[in-house]
Amino acid sequence: MSQKLAEEFRKIRAFEELSDSDLAWLAAHAKVVSANPGDLLLREGSVADVMVIILEGELQGRREAAGPDAPVFTISAGTVTGMLPFSRMTHFTVTIRAMSFTRLAMISTSDFPEMLQRIPVLGPTLVGVLADRVREVTKLDLQKEKLAALGKLSAGLAHELNNPAAAGARAAASLQCALDCLQKADADLDRSNLGPEQREFIRALEAEASAKMATSRPQDGLQQSDAEDRIGNWLDREQVKGAWELSSALVEAEVDVPDLEGLKTKITPETLAPAVHRLAATLDLSRLVREIQNSTSRISELVRAIKEYSFMDRAPLQEVDVAKGLDNTLTIMSYKLKHGVRVIREYDPDLPKIFSFGSDLNQVWTNLIDNAVDSMKGSGELRVRTCREGEGFVMVEILDNGPGIPQSIQSRIFDPFFTTKGVGDGSGLGLDTVYRIVRQHQGNVSFVSQPGNTVFRVRLPIKQAVASSGESTHSR
């Protein structure tokens, strides 16, 4: 049995250069286990006390504590996994199940000292396996973070785009009704044979009311209700139909009873009703057109911000306007800011552009702003500041008035996978990403924090070339 197992070990890449006696020793100290599809082999959180060699079949690993969206990875025959020499792992971090009929060989960690003494060449080989595993796990976590951040940004943008799109659609649907009312009022006025002076007075009143409506500020509910009551009662007395529907449009344009009295003195009693209906329909059309303009402008602004945020259709390495990148990031994240975060921008108007990967820098701003807003629980003051530092650097400061970072964890804040958030809320890669991207730009990032005042400072060179763009991810 040991001889057959030693021959199987020779087919394992990590063991292919071992001598016959080395393979025999491994076979003598290995325990062979078989598993059927779906069988549980290693439980997440259990003591990491065995090295596992996959002889046959395929396994699936997943961090079940991270929820249903946790990344899944596959381990095939020929792989050495589990607890490896020199690893600092104390408990298994994933749950392993068989995907097909599988045969495993397990070597206990209690045999590691003798194994490394008898087979010293195996030490560097297994260290390489461990390094490859760390890289793969980190890559999976980065991909998960990137997808999670993209999903969060996409959901926020969908909400931000839906609001103006829905408002524009409602306004467009109401245009036809307002146009029908205007045409009917025009037809009624045409039949009354109004003179040129009377028509000119009506047009002047409409123009004045439209101009007031374009610049007027919303009244409080009580004032508006009183004004609508006054106009509605006046229209009822004058036997103008639809008084309460008309009064809302008239009040919004600051048309009051004296204006209507002036109109009444210029025209005949039978033309008062169509004249008022025409005035209200004209004001409705003006309001609806402005709503459509505002909605489409907001959509256009968001699309522009998305394109500039991602540097779509542009070379990745170029001169970048730091203030514009910050503004685009704030626009993209407006869904998270508008419910209680007061944003104060303090930009140096003479700040030079810097040579960088713009989309990567925008991830830095996203992570820092996202963390600041989270620390304030979505309500507080966020200050974004830029300035020039000496001749060769620009500095960006992200300040918040949240509770601050506890002194006990400040030394670990940039460590990969360190997070103060709960399981599933973050993996601790956001500030690690900030650190990596800033270092790739030959800059540095630092912070000071106390209750009510946390400041992250990013210093970036203006003219130094950037070596290469690394993998990037979004907020933790």
Give per-residue pLDDT as tens, 105-143.
Answer: 999 999 999 999 999 989 888 888 888 777 776 666 666
At residue 472 the predicted structure's pLDDT band, cuts being 50, 70 and 90, is very low
Q: Same domain for 322 and 440?
A: yes
Single out the residue in 120, 147, 173 at which a domain terminates: 120
Given a cut of 80, whether residue 232 has pLDDT beyond it is yes
For residues 318 and 393, state if they share a domain: yes
Residues 6+ away with beta carbon under 8 Å from 53: 9, 12, 30, 79, 80, 104, 105, 106, 107
Residue 46 near residue 90 (C-beta atoms within 8 A): no
Q: Which residue has the higher pLDDT, 268 or 119?
A: 119
SS3 463: coil
Cβ atoms of 175 and 285 closer than 8 Å: yes
Least reliable range by pLDDT among 15-19, 261-265, 372-376, 464-468? 464-468
User: Among the three residues 73, 92, 120, which one is the final residue of a domain in this structure?
Assistant: 120
pLDDT interval class at 186 (50, 70, 90): confident
Indicate whether 326 and 437 sit together in one domain: yes
Q: Percentage of the chain with pLDDT > 70? A: 83
CA distance 81 to 107: 11
**Residue 428 in this model has a pLDDT that exceeds 60:** no
Distance between CA atoms of residues 57 and 102, nearest Å? 4
* 417 touches 429 (CB < 8 A): yes
Residue 286 has pLDDT above 60, yes or no: yes
In a domain, 65, yes or no: yes
The lowest-confidence range among 196-210, 282-296, 398-412, 456-470 is 456-470
Which comes out higher in pLDDT, residue 197 or 316? 197
- Domain assignment present for 178: yes
State pLDDT tens for residues 61-109: 887 776 666 666 788 888 898 888 888 888 888 889 999 999 999 999 9
How high is the pLDDT of residue 383?
94
Do 290 and 413 lie in a common domain? Answer: no
Q: What is the CA radius of gyration of the chain?
A: 35
pLDDT at 476 over 60: no
Residues 104 and 163 in one domain: no
Same domain, residue pair 336 and 293: no
| pLDDT at residue 427 in the model | 44
pLDDT in tens, 311-345: 554 556 678 889 988 988 888 888 788 888 999 99
CA-wise closest residue to 348 among 388, 391, 398, 392: 388
